Amino acid sequence: MKLSEGVEAAIHCATLLAQLAEGKSLPANMLAEYHGLSSSYLLKHLKQLTAAGVLESVSGPHGGYRLARRPDAITLLDVVLAIEGPKPAFRCAEIRQRGPGALEPETYLKPCGINAAMLKAERAYRAVLRETTLSDVIRGYQADADPRAIAFGCAFVERNQRPQG
């Protein structure tokens, strides 16, 4: 399974936005600059996160983005579903019913065992994402990251956050 790069960008942006002071926002172009992404690419994902209720979009001269909920109330599954959508990663196309060995459709009344196994794996994967919050990711980063990277991120947010509009 391969998730899009948009998932990585979305999680990184959400964790950076978690560092904002109360009521402040960060412009999309600053989020893009911080992560070395194009603004147009990132904006698409920020809009998806906003539509899903993960982020809030603040309009006006002091506009930008901020979390819509506390970091401990946003799971990685919330972010993944906002970017990738709700469909499972594996989609059974019933290829067992094609080709020269295919039998009559009524032969295939039982679900495909491969599909069942893949959906079981999907449920396990989503369960882990459902129990992992942005706060968990941030705590892990703060415990393991180089202090210079943490200091740079904090200073970047402090310099570029916009006051409440």
In a domain, 165, yes or no: no
Whole-Å CA distances, 9 to 28, 109, 157: 12, 42, 16
Express each pLDDT in 45-81 by its tens digit: 999 999 999 999 999 888 899 999 999 999 999 999 9
| Domain span holding position 74 | 5-160
Q: Is the pLDDT of residue 33 over 70?
A: yes
Per-residue pLDDT band for 7 (boundaries 50, 70, 90) equals: very high
CATH number at residue 61: 1.10.10.10
Say how many domains are in the chain.
1
Structure tokens at 54: 């993960």
pLDDT at 109 (0 to 100): 87
Asked if the structure places residue 131 within a domain, the reply is yes
DSSP class of residue 54 equals: S
- Model pTM? 0.89
**Residue 1 pLDDT level (bands cut at 50, 70, 90):** low
Rounded Cα gap, residues 80 and 115, in angstroms = 21
